Structure 1
């Protein structure tokens, strides 16, 4: 029997707790008794914990009486993870993660692991809207925004909220095979493997600054003239810079090349039209600045992992 522990703390997100636990609880219906998961919850100081939605949770263990090691130790996310360092958890986490066979986080639970130094040098992820914040707080971590969940050795981290269910299904498949995981996914009415990664949910461009600078003028020109041909040379002319210097300064200040910015802007425009209109794909491509529907489809598949029609079906 495998022991799975979920850590609780004030302001935890209930879905991060309940979703993954339900995967393993449901799996017990299909497994022989000796292969069952024994589920428990662990709290730092109080057994009675209030979640971020106001519901009260009762922990099975405090840190003082919790088992020394687990087959899987999970840290859920929530406001209490990124707004509070949960200092009382840190010494216990360091010992428990070393002793456990696997450990990981759901959503913003990665912040708690980061405070314990458990993300340093590791490839990790979190909810797409907290990627930059996680990177800034823990610069030694290799933070990725693409995958729904990531495995780095015995460390598992997942994207936002329902991605914890995806990760739990993946862990279940590792333990007992794909057939059991598919059976559980069907009962929960979720996909065993989602198309695309987290980028399909998040805007590809941050909001353009409002100050007047050569680079900002070029960015604003892109957003206002997406249907026009946009080359490095034409944008450098808008910025009144040489093409070579413009490309260098743009990449330094924006974090991507001018052409990557143009592609991201066109993708964001197309996504907005797919979500909020019934325009034909050919018309969406035209209004977004793509040469044709095929070019739009190629960039969608490359950057988002799904086609424009699949994106509209999922989000439209």
Structure 2
């Protein structure tokens, strides 16, 4: 049975099929081990903009969820999502965007690319815009579907993407990139801003922004929003020696883990002396000092922008002893966490 004869699945669920075609139509494709946060955030933004109230009526925008076959797709958190629309029943003429949600492992996203090749290439031939979210960029890049495009990549996977696809221009300085019929998004909550951008183009800005208060969002971010919590310019990492870039990425991933520099070196396949040498050459600082600065910068930002306790923030940057954390913090900045709080007030 062709999906052309099927009303939108969610519209059927809520007992309302639009009498006129919606302004914009999305086909959502969650890949195995897809991440729930971007998937749920994107879908909820569509839902809030879909009607005048909050009834999930697909009046102004519509969506369906599809996969290789019907059955369950399991998310990275173990939640099962029931897929009722298989690719073989999808009529791509019904959709403006195919939005592909990636999983936690870039390697897995590349490995499964051949399974999705025929469908994604068919979508391209039909003129449908492809949107990659999170590590789905690895899937589409493996199929050559991002050639010549700028690609928004999550900072954690920037080095891996550049190594695998050296001819593509990867961007970790943007929440999302719109490059003609190819759109990419770094993932996380950045999909909310992307959804607003896509909805605004066909539904109008006012409708695109509808529901943000319900989502407890005060204001939207620009696509070039800078993630202050990481400290430093996260996008300069790829300009360095590949060992330095990889090390910085591992440091960010392990902010809360009390790894030694020797252990970090072993993960990189380098000696401690080699790692010291490349850091001194590239950054004029040793890796231990760089990592300490990264941790303290993160802690400083958290103290200013969260209500977490000192103990919680100390644990986030690998300190189990709060008093020692305060001592290191004061040595680094010249004032204690408590004094910082007083300054902020």
With the shorter chain as reference, the TM-score category is 0.5 to 0.7
Cα 1:82–1:287 change in 2 (3 A) is same
Q: Tell me the equivalent position of 1:98.
A: 125
For residues 65 and 182 of structure 2, what CA distance do their matches in structure 1 show? 19
Q: Tell me the equivalent position of 2:19.
A: none
1:3 deviates by: 2.2
- 3-state SS of 1:93 partner: helix
- 3-state SS of 1:184 partner: coil
Q: Tell me the equivalent position of 2:285.
A: 222
The 5 Å alignment of 1:138-157 reads 138-157=165-184
1:29 deviates by: 1.8
The 5 Å alignment of 1:299-310 reads none
For residues 177 and 28 of structure 1, what CA distance do their matches in structure 2 show? 12
1:214 deviates by: 4.5
Q: Tell me the equivalent position of 1:211.
A: 273
Q: Tell me the equivalent position of 2:212.
A: 185
1:26 is the counterpart of 2:53: no
For residues 43 and 50 of structure 1, what CA distance do their matches in structure 2 show? 12
Q: Tell me the equivalent position of 2:145.
A: 118
* Number of aligned residues: 251
Match of 1:41 among 59, 65, 73: 65
For residues 209 and 73 of structure 2, what CA distance do their matches in structure 1 show? 33
Match of 2:102 among 54, 70, 77: 77
Match of 1:197 among 225, 238, 263: 225
- Stretches of structure 1 that go unaligned for 5 or more consecutive residues are 227-260, 279-283, 290-308
For residues 270 and 218 of structure 1, what CA distance do their matches in structure 2 show? 23
Q: Tell me the equivalent position of 1:167.
A: 194
- TM normalised by structure 2 equals 0.62
1:116 deviates by: 1.7
Contact preservation (8 Å) 1:71, 1:102 = yes
- 3-state SS of 1:83 partner: helix
- Stretches of structure 2 that go unaligned for 5 or more consecutive residues are 1-21, 238-247, 252-260, 266-271, 306-328, 335-339
Cα deviation, 1:140-191, whole Å, max 9, x if unaligned, reads 2110111111111121111122111221111111222222222232222225
1:110 deviates by: 1.1
Q: Tell me the equivalent position of 2:78.
A: 54
Two-structure CA RMSD over aligned residues (Å): 3.7
Cα 1:30–1:102 change in 2 (3 A) is farther
For residues 153 and 288 of structure 2, what CA distance do their matches in structure 1 show? 34
